[in-house]
Amino acid sequence: MCSSDVLFHGILFLCVAIFFGLTSCALYRQLAILKEGMNRIDASKPEWKLFYQLRASKVYMMIRVLAVCAFIIAAGALFLIFCGLFPFKCGGLL
């Protein structure tokens, strides 16, 4: 692979990482809406409170998974961009 291909793939992966980060931000907003709905439920409907708690825990887990994936992809993307910009420093890595 020549350095322009490596640079292109690094930029592409960085865009994917940004997309994952923005998706986790949107899910965090959804989590806030779920918690607000959970606070509005009165004590006469405990099954709805349980439903909101289960939904909130699933959304929170999705946020954590997306954030970790975004971090790992961004680290790889920055490495590819570095290798594309400075191919002599990477030696024979790529």
For the CA atoms of 8, 23, 25, 49, what is the dihedral angle to 10 degrees? -160
**Which residue bears the tokens 């993307």?**
77
Q: Are 60 and 54 in contact (CB under 8 A)?
A: no
The span from the CA of 51 to the CA of 8, in Å, is 45
Is residue 42 pLDDT above 80, yes or no? Answer: no
Q: What is the pLDDT of residues 54-71, one digit of tens each?
A: 888 888 898 889 889 999
- Domain ranges (residues) in the chain: 3-85
Average pLDDT of span 7-20: 90
The H or E element that residue 35 is part of is: helix 3-40
pTM beyond 0.95: the answer is no
One-letter amino acid for residue 23 of the chain: T
Mean pLDDT, all residues of the chain? 82
Average pLDDT of span 79-94: 73
pLDDT grade, residue 72 (50/70/90)?
A: very high
